[in-house]
Amino acid sequence: MSKVFQKKLLFILVLTLVLSWGAYLSLSAADSAVVGSSLGLSGKLGKLIAETPKCTASLTKGCINPDAPRGYLGIPGAPRPSFILGFLWAIWVGWIFSTVGAFGGIMAGVGHITIFGLANYAKSFKKTNMALNKYLTDTIRVSNMFLVGLSGAVSSFNYWRMKRIVGPLAIAMAIGAVGGAMGIAELTAGKISLKDYIGFFGLAVFAVAGFMWYGTTEKARAKNKAAKEAAKRFEENAKKEGGTTEGVKLVRFSLTECVFSFLGVEFKFNPVIAALGGLLIAIIAVFLGIGGGFLLVPFMTDIVKLPMFIVAGTSAFIVLIKMIVGIFTYIVLKGATVYWPLIGAELAGIFVGSMIGPRTQKYIPDIWLKRLFVILAIYVGLRYTSKGFLGYSIVPPY
C-alpha cells in the first residue's frame, strides 16, 4: 500500500468522522430544542413547559407549539374542554353519587381521562417530557377531588343539620385519613405516570363493581332490610319523644372504646381501628383521586357495626376531610394545579346533580339501578385496566 494511498485513506476517515460528529451534534441540537420559555405560565407548570420540545414539521406530538391557541391549563395546543359538556357531565356525576352513594369519583375520573381527552394529551409527552406527563396526571387526580369534595360538602351539611353525623367516629377516621392523604400525595405527586394511574384506576373500578354486585345479593339485601328497619325504629322513637331533634351524643370515650347514643340507642367502636381504617382508605382514595365511599360504607357497617341510618352522613364528612387534605397537599405543597374555568363549570353541575339525585331515586328500583352500574363498572374497569397495563383497550373503543 503506497504512502499516497494511505494519506488519502486517512484523510477520508478523518473527514468522515468530522462530518459524522457534526451531523450528530446537529441532530442532538434539533432533538433537544425546547420551548425555552414558560410562555407566561407560572410555577412548576411553566418550568416544565419551558423544558418541553417545540413542535416542528417532524415532531407533532409530545411537543409545544407556542403559536397555537391556549387550551387546558393555558398550554398552547392543549385540548380545550367544553365548559357546557363539563357542566352536563358533572350533573351526571353528582346524580350518581347522591343516588347510590358511590361511583361519583369514578365517573369524575372517566370525564377527565376520556371525555375531555386529557389522558391522550398527557400520554403524548411520555417520550419527550415524562415529568410533564406525570404533572398532568396529578392535575387529573386533583380535579377529581374537587368534584368529590363538593359532593361530600353538600351531603355533610344536610346530614349535620339532621344531627346524623357520628362526630367521634368521623374525627377518629379523619385523623387516620389526614395522615394517609398527605402521605400518599407526598410520596406519589409527580411520580406516577399516566399509564400506571389508568391501570390502577381500572382496578379500583373493578373493586367498585364487586361491592355493588354484592349489594344485589340476597345476603346484602337482607342486611339492608335490617338497616331500614333500624332507621324506622329511630324515626318512631323520635315521634314518641314528641319530634325531638336529639342527635348523636357522646357517652364515654377512651383510646380503646368510644360509646355514643342516638335517640337512646347505644353504639360503640374502637377509635384505633377506626383511625387505621381511615388511614388505609385515604391512601387508596387520594392516590386515585376518588372519594372512597365504596370502602367507607362497608367498613362502618361491617367492621364498626353501625346502622346505615347514621353511616351516610359520617362517610360524607370523612370524604370531605380527605379531599380537602388531598387538594391542599397536591396544590400547595407539590405545586399541582387545575383548570379553574372547567372546574367551576363542573362544580356547578355537581351541585345541580346532587340536588336532583335524592328527588329521582324513589322512581328507580334500587336493585336494577345497582345492576346497571355493575355492568357499567365492569366495562369501564376492563377498558382502563387493559389500557394501563397492556397499552391498549380490549373493549371498544380500542
- pLDDT tens readout for residues 12-22: 444 444 444 44
- Please give the grid coordinates belonging to residue 184: 400518599
Rounded distance, CA 354 to CA 350, Å?
6
**Percent of the chain scoring above 90 in pLDDT:** 31
Is residue 73 over pLDDT 90? Answer: yes
Answer whether 380's CB lies under 8 Å from 208's CB.
Answer: no
**What's the pLDDT score for residue 16?**
41
Strand pairing report for 265-269 and 258-262: antiparallel
Rounded distance, CA 109 to CA 145, Å?
9
- Please give the grid coordinates belonging to residue 239: 315521634
Residue 308 confidence class, pLDDT cut points 50, 70, 90 = low
**What's the pLDDT score for residue 314?**
84
Chain centroid offset of residue 353 CA = 18
Rounded distance, CA 66 to CA 78, Å?
11
Higher per-residue pLDDT: 301 or 121: 121
**What's the pLDDT score for residue 78?**
96
Higher per-residue pLDDT: 63 or 235: 63
**What's the pLDDT score for residue 3?**
57
Rounded distance, CA 37 to CA 35, Å?
5
Closest CA to 384 of 372, 374, 395: 395
Q: Where are the domains of the chain?
A: 82-389
Is residue 319 over pLDDT 80? Answer: yes
Condensed to tens digits (0 to 9), the pLDDT of residues 283-297 reads: 988 898 888 877 887
- Please give the grid coordinates belonging to residue 388: 394501563
Closest CA to 140 of 287, 293, 353: 287
Is residue 263 over pLDDT 50? Answer: yes
Is residue 270 over pLDDT 60? Answer: yes
**Percent of the chain scoring above 70 in pLDDT:** 79
Is residue 29 over pLDDT 50? Answer: no
Handedness of CA 62, 66, 69, 73 (dihedral sign): positive
Rounded distance, CA 353 to CA 92, Å?
6
Helix (H, G, I), strand (E, B) or coil at 387: helix
**DSSP assignment, residue 245?**
-
Q: Beginning with the edge strand found earlier in the chain, give each strand of the sheet holding 248-253 in spatial order.
A: 248-253, 258-262, 265-269
Lowest mean pLDDT among 202-206, 235-239, 392-396: 235-239
Is residue 171 over pLDDT 80? Answer: yes
- Please give the grid coordinates belonging to residue 301: 357497617
Residue labelled with grid coordinates 407549539: 65
Task: Tell me the mean pLDDT in the region 191-210.
Answer: 88
**HEC per residue, 82-132:** CHHHHHHHHHHHHHHHHHHCCCHHHHHHHHHHHHCCHHHHHHCCCCCCHHH
DSSP 312-370: HHHHHHHHHHHHHHHHHIIIIIT-----HHHHHHHHHHHHHHHHHHHHHGGGS-HHHHH
Strand pairing report for 265-269 and 248-253: unpaired
If 0-12 CB within 10 Å is exposed, 13-18 middle and 19+ buried, where does residue 32 land? exposed
In this structure, how many other beta carbons lie within 10 angstroms of the beta carbon of residue 295? Answer: 22
Rounded distance, CA 231 to CA 218, Å?
20
Rounded distance, CA 296 to CA 317, Å?
11
Residue 267 confidence class, pLDDT cut points 50, 70, 90 = confident
**DSSP assignment, residue 269?**
E
Rounded distance, CA 282 to CA 275, Å?
10
DSSP 44-96: HHHHHHHTSBBP-SS--SSSB-TTSPB-GGG-BT-----HHHHHHHHHHHHHH
